[in-house]
Amino acid sequence: MTNAHAICAEANLDFKELYSYQYLVTHGKTRVAGLKALPFGRFTAHVGAKMHSALLVDCKGRFFGYVLGIAVDKSGLIKGEHRLEELDLDDPQLFLRFAEYLDDVSGRYVILCGAGREQRVYTDPVAMIGCIYDPIKSRVGSSLNLVLDRPLVNNPKTDDEAILQRGGKYTLFHTQDAHAKRMNGSCYLDLDTMIETRFWPRTDKFEVPVEEYGAVYDEIIETGRHVIAEITSAFKTAMPLSGGRDSRLIAALAGKHIKKVNQVFTHITNYSTRYDASVAALMARHLKVPHQVHSWRDPTPPERSRYKYRADLRGFQTALGAKAPMPDELVKNVHQFLEEDQVVLRGHLTDLLRAVYVFTSKRKRWKDLDWQVQRLFPVQTSEFTPQVYENYLPDFVAWRRTLPPSALELPLDFMFIEVYYNATVGYTFNGLHKQFYMSPFNSRRLIELSLAINVDYRRTMKPVDDILYRIDPGLCAIPYYKEAGSDLGVLSAEQPWLDISQDRMNDVKERYDSKYVEADGFSEQYEPERAVPLLMAS
């Protein structure tokens, strides 16, 4: 019995419902109640009732593995029996060919594959699907309670109270258990040895000349639209809109396929998200799609008793695998407005186009590790001390030493891609068990294209507007909430709000006409410092 089964039985929770979008891999031919068993060589894969799955076969129709979750390659949604013409089980370079194929696979997924005696686990680029392995029992799965079938051994590295109650994170691939680890999405896991091996990135250099930016932008648009088209054609979907850049970019990439999205929505959970709703309403009007506002006050969501609140909290924590606080949309109960069993399309990896984790362009500061470890939030900022730094520094250095030279040129981006996402969306999405949350921008090729843009230029956030302008200048022209100011009235459909964004739009058009030559002028000397050397400051 897994720890998840024991917790569900004790708390009278429905295991099959809570783990309907999760998976488990166990050694031998075993059965796990509430999950569907799939034979996998010397192992067995166990899949939740609602988890999409597909079979991978080589060019001769021979079994290669399973895809669990939602994945889209160049040919379309991976479903049914999916034939990979580029793979031949007799090819001695089989796994190298497979790694090359994976570059263009986007979604939130885990792949179990093998040839001969070798059996491996691969995940989406940032392990958004959640992937934890217990080397003691040779088990792999999406969340800690599901993986463990033994008593939890408290991890001496982590401060559970600081993480679960005060905003810290299980970072640098740690879990609450001393032995179970989170898998790095840039590695594959050998099921026999329980050893991770890096297979990505393989490029020698990410950044390209400015003359190629137009082609980079167009490939991002083409790829993103293809992925969203495939997902919206096959699943019921929902798409959040906000007042910022990321959700707008996903909506723009959707193009005409946004008409197939079942729910375009904005959650209002606090004062500031009212601005999101106002901007989102203008975007939905421009895109000619219905827009739902899910507010915690006016109108209020369906009433929830204290008993139901506690049940929601326990369900979230059980599916997540830790006693962490619920996200705002669950606390404020607005999640009830979302229809169940939908695929929720979010941005996340689009953050790379804004270099959100590059807090300074001063290259010499990229070698100072104190503020970098702090930005992984092993504890909240006010609790970060020299002792915390020294505790996590060996793990941080060990991870950083695995980066190839091309990634070491962009170490802060890779800290974001491999470590931060793993500890956030890779951790929390499994707790949101009533829908399947994912980013259609989550492919290694889309990451490479994002990193092809100069890092200093990305820090200005201008690449997002560059892409939006190429897709839909009218959508690009709608003010962002920070442009509009505090008066929500200026964002009504009847107001001349175009004046608010006129200077920005003039700038975007000038860059477009000049083929982005402006990007050549950005270098570290022009960018403000936002990375505080915390330990030195204290």
Q: Give the CB-side neighbour count of residue 413, counting CA atoms within 13 A.
A: 28
In eight-state DSSP terms, residue 85 is: T
Candidate from 14-18, 155-159, 271-275, 388-392 with smallest mean pLDDT: 271-275
- Percent pLDDT > 70 in the chain is 96
Q: Output the pTM of the full model.
A: 0.95
**Is the confidence at residue 533, as pLDDT, over 80?**
no
**Full DSSP string of 44-76:** EEEE-TT--EEEEE-TTS-EEEEEEEEEEETTE
How far, in Å, CA of 68 to CA of 112, rounded? 8
Cβ neighbours of residue 69 closer than 8 Å, sequence gap 6 or more: 51, 52, 53, 107, 108, 109, 110, 124, 129, 436, 438
Among 255, 333, 337, smallest CA distance to 291 is for: 337
How far, in Å, CA of 86 to CA of 84, rounded? 5
Dihedral over alpha carbons 229, 230, 236, 241 (to 10 degrees): -40
- Percent pLDDT > 90 in the chain is 84
Work out the mean pLDDT of the chain and round it to a whole number.
93
| Mean pLDDT, rounded, for 514-534 | 70
Band of pLDDT at residue 532, cut at 50, 70 and 90: low
pLDDT tens-digit series, residues 146-157: 999 999 999 999
How far, in Å, CA of 121 to CA of 143, rounded? 15
How far, in Å, CA of 325 to CA of 306, rounded? 16
Strand pairing report for 237-240 and 263-268 = parallel
**Is the confidence at residue 487, as pLDDT, over 80?**
no
**Is the confidence at residue 493, as pLDDT, over 80?**
no
Neighbours of 363 (CB within 10 A): 11
| Mean pLDDT, rounded, for 316-331 | 92
Are 477 and 498 in contact by the 8 Å Cβ rule? The answer is yes
| Mean pLDDT, rounded, for 173-180 | 97
At 246 the pLDDT is 95
Q: What's the start-to-end Cα distance of the chain, in Å?
A: 48
**Is the confidence at residue 526, as pLDDT, over 60?**
no
At 498 the pLDDT is 82
CA-based angle 51:55:56, to the nearest 5?
130
Question: Positive or negative CA dihedral for 222, 224, 228, 231?
Answer: positive
Provide the angle, in degrees to the nearest 10, between the axes of the packed helices 273-287 and 246-254. 20
Q: Tell me the β-bridge partners of 27.
A: 43
Neighbours of 286 (CB within 10 A): 15
Q: Which residue has the higher pLDDT, 534 or 119?
A: 119
Domains and CATH numbers, the chain: 3-198 (3.60.20.10), 217-351+426-478 (3.40.50.620), 358-420+529-537 (no CATH)
Question: Positive or negative CA dihedral for 134, 399, 161, 108?
Answer: negative
pLDDT tens-digit series, residues 419-469: 999 999 999 999 999 999 999 999 999 999 999 999 999 999 999 999 999
